[in-house]
Structure 1
Amino acid sequence: MSLFSDNIRYLRAERKISQEKLAESLGITRGRYVKYEDGTSEAPYEILKSISYFYHISIDLLLSVDVRKVPMDELLKLEDNRLLLPITVDKYGESFIEVVPHKAKAGYLTGYADPEFIESLQHISLPFLGSGKFRGFPVEGDSMPPHEDGSIIVGRYVENLGGVVDGKTYIFITKDEGIVYKRLNKNKKNVLMVESDNSFYPPYEVKASDILEIWEYKCNIGLSDRKQEVSETESVKEMFLELKREINELKNR
């Protein structure tokens, strides 16, 4: 038996549906379906997708989480049966924000689909953010000033690539690089060009197929009150503007 077998048997029992009726809904024979439920055969992708749509639950959860332990009424349901995100609320009904600390950053790639992992994260509440699903991620390095190492970036969950906008900053959860916070430079078909605000770091491409999650920047939680220094680029820009003003003054004399 497998976790998937246990899950589909449990879900069918909860719905009080016979194996024959479910198989008919999936467009397969009862004999074929029974093999998936008793674990003697693995379901191909198309069947997984059909079962996912039938129960309105993501394939991630069907394969990797014991759904008997998941409070289904407390999950955020996204379009197209994408990953279901656990939601916890305070006594006033405001959504809590899960914060991924530095020590849990490495584990997020394997735990982002696990409600128990998400539940174990620290929670904060920021009612001024309004509606949406929010999560906090740690910042490392100096690639995105003025956000410093140790700061937390709070992002709003973006449901699809069509929701991203050039010029805005996002937390990208990718298979290869994990958690990265970058500015979107150019949104191409199936590829995103991202860049750091620190010009020392070159821009690079991220394949859409490599992206697990996208969170749009909403606010920053940091400890430093250091005055932001004027960048070299801004200094040069100011120098040229001043020179232009002086030239115009000479022309008007």
Structure 2
Amino acid sequence: MAEIFARNLVHLRNRLGLTQEKLAVELGFTRASIDAYEGDRATPPYAKLKTFARVLGKSVQELTDEKLWESDLQEADMNEDLALPDLPLFAELNPENMANSEAWLNQIAIVAQSRLQDFVAGEFDPYADEAARISMPIYDKGQYLAFESGTDFPLPKSFLIGLKVEKTEAIEDGEICLLIDKKGQAYYRKVYNQSRERGVFVLTPMVSGLASQDLAVHEIHGIWQVKAFLSYTMPQFKTDKSRAQALVQELQEEIRRLS
């Protein structure tokens, strides 16, 4: 129950566009308690669960028993409206380095959704030895991190492999990036660079139900180019009926031509 509630809390807070601090104000709780609940390090008593249910628009049973992060994605029917991200499951390999086993498995630190605010505040160092890591075959030089995906990524239970952008003016229009603002909110978006003209980046969502928005340069903590992703979720593809009908028609015409 506690693990389901923790994931539901992260999911619903992100869907509402709230930081841990803002949600804490809405609930009348402390940010530390929200962080503990999201990190599955504490379980709220029933009285607090009722408060969560009222503010988040769900029942106590839904919050504690149902995997809302999965059902919401199914209701959105993402595979009908959206294409999967045009990213490799693994970053492009450099054949010259294939023989070097040390280069082949790079250790990339993980930043969980529940640690984003601590990461921005400097209270969590993902490069420290105790941070969790995953191995990936990446050869480009630079600072990589693996960010736990939020609800603005098409596949749940994923990690986005990001390369730190050192010069924001170098970002080209249409690049897929993960941006983190100074409040600890993460945005997986297609980016259009208007930093010189207007001092903002225009962020276009990759999933339905979210609007495009401007994010001011001075509000950004960091930007990572998303180079690859790892996912525990297999996409569910739908049959393209129009394409199937066209193939049937082509086959029928070919049969008539040969008969």
TM-score by length of 2: 0.47
Please report the TM-score for the alignment, with normalisation by the length of structure 1. 0.48
Higher relative contact order (CA 8 A, sep 6+): 2
